């Protein structure tokens, strides 16, 4: 009984370890409200994968998009979405909301 549990835990650990990098990606939260990004500037460390948790507080869909980051995802109204970014060399990476590009603008600042 105990051996079975331990075996299951070991196998589970092995599988989880296979599918993830050395440490879990840290999470940053981003909000879309009134077709604006909050915060509009994000700071992340260089060469690190980061998980963006984007909450669309508007009732209309928005598309989080960035050529520099190579990311595009539609987030329906009153929904949240996960987008992974990085690893990236240091620099500034703008992003925008494709459906409201005049207002929904932001930047990811990658620093050492």
Partner 1 sequence: MLLISVIIILREVLEAAVLISIFAVLARHFILPTRSLKLGILVGVFAALLYALNLRAISSWFGGLGQEVFNALVQFAIFFSLLLVSVYFVSVKQQQSLPRRFGEVVMFTVAVLSISREGSEVFLFVSGFSAGDPQLGAVMAGIALGAGIGFSVGALTYFTLVHFPISKSFYFLLCLLGLVGAGMVIQGTKLLVQADILPSRLPLWNSNDVLNENSIPGQMLFAIFGYESTPSSIDLIAYFSAILLFVSSIVAIHLWRRGSRGVSLV
Instruction: Name the segment binding partner 1 (CB under 8 A); options: 1-9, 10-18, 37-45, 55-63.
Output: 55-63
Query: Maximum distance among all alpha carbons in the chain?
Result: 62
Token pair 């296979």 in the structure block, residue: 18
Count of residues that interact with partner 1, criterion CB under 8 A: 31
Instruction: Name the segment binding partner 1 (CB under 8 A); options: 1-9, 10-18, 36-44, 65-73.
Output: 65-73
Determine how β-strand 71-75 pairs with β-strand 105-111: unpaired
Supply φ then ψ for residue 13, to 5 degrees: -60, -45
88 in helix, strand or coil?
coil
Determine how β-strand 41-45 pairs with β-strand 105-111: parallel
3-22 binders of partner 1 (CB under 8 A): 21
From candidates 36, 45, 74, 105, binder to partner 1 by CB under 8 A: 74
Instruction: Name the segment binding partner 1 (CB under 8 A); options: 1-9, 10-18, 36-44, 47-55.
Output: 47-55
> Is 98 an interacting residue with respect to partner 1 (CB under 8 A)?
yes
């Amino acid at each position: 009984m105990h051996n079975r549990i331990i075996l299951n835990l070991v196998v589970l650990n092995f599988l989880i370890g296979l599918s993830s990098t050395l440490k879990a990606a840290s999470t940053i939260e981003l909000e879309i409200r009134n077709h604006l990004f909050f915060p509009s500037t994000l700071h992340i460390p260089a060469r690190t994968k980061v998980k963006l948790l984007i909450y669309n507080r508007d009732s209309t869909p928005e598309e989080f998009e960035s050529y520099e980051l190579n990311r595009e995802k539609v987030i329906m109204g009153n929904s949240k979405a996960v987008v992974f970014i990085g690893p990236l060399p240091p620099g500034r990476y703008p992003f925008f909301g494709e459906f409201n590009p005049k207002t929904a603008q932001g930047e990811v600042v990658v620093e050492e």
